[in-house]
Amino acid sequence: MHAACAYGPWRVGLELDPNTDRTVPAITTPGDVKHVGVASWSRLDFDEPRTFDIEDAVVSVDGERELEVSNEDVSIRPVASGPRLVDFEAVFEQAPTH
């Protein structure tokens, strides 16, 4: 997998799998970052939709919004004006040096 910068040319879409060893940190609920298993990933350009076939789940797209769904196709797409993420651990590591 590759790192994706919030200001870079593309974003990353993930298919999750709790039974894999390949993990990434992800915002799972507001203020909560956990390592989640990744079954597959793909690059997403701005305004490029990604569709998921959901049987029963709670969909959390950006860590702030949640939607309970059953037997639905759910589409999401990153937008250039969307929220930005801050790596607080990196900020606090650098703060004493500046």
- What is the tens place of the pLDDT at every residue in 28-79? 777 788 899 999 988 888 888 888 888 888 776 665 667 788 898 888 788 8
Residue 6 lies in a domain: no
pTM here is 0.55
Residue 2 lies in a domain: no
Residue 38: domain span:
11-97
Residue 17 lies in a domain: yes
Residue 5 lies in a domain: no
pLDDT for the residue numbered 75: 82
Residue 1 lies in a domain: no
What is the number of structural domains in the chain? Answer: 1
Instruction: Say if CB 73 and CB 54 are below 8 A apart.
Output: yes
Find the angle CA(13)-CA(38)-CA(78) to the nearest 5 degrees: 15
Residue 59 lies in a domain: yes
Residue 63 lies in a domain: yes
